[in-house]
Structure 1
Amino acid sequence: MTCYNLQGGLYAVFRYKGLVQDFSKLLQYIFTEWMPKSQYTLDHRAHFQVLGEHYKKDSPDSQEDVYIPIRLK
């Protein structure tokens, strides 16, 4: 296992539920709809996902949390 220290800061958190092949729809929503309408802009830090107990590979009921680094515009 490799450890990675994340830089602190503000993150927008989105819960994704569905199949991996549809994940790009969430990213499209975040960057083309949510972010332009929000008071935030992308901060250049690491994006990451948390695959917790509700993550089920290849299941339409799978859930994961997506963390997008943001800062005020």
Structure 2
Amino acid sequence: MAIDADGSPIFMPVDALRKFSREAIDPEECCIILNKHTFEAAYAQYVEWHTASPESCSLKQLCEATASSCPC
């Protein structure tokens, strides 16, 4: 996850970001690394407002939504 210029989160799998940016993702440069459970607890309202199905993987839905809005 990263934040765009408007402060909105951008969700993208690490592999996709590496392919898109052609840069390695260094975990040492990350402010924090959250597991799925911790992410969903911390961002519960965001997940609820920006996903269609509580039964499906929230991270996958958020990544797909980001990909569909990506201008590239």
TM-score of the superposed pair, with normalisation by structure 1: 0.29
Which has the higher Rg, Structure 1 or Structure 2?
1
- With CA pairs under 8 Å and 6+ residues apart, which has the higher RCO, 1 or 2? 1
**Structure holding more helix per residue:** 2
TM-score of the superposed pair, with normalisation by structure 2: 0.29
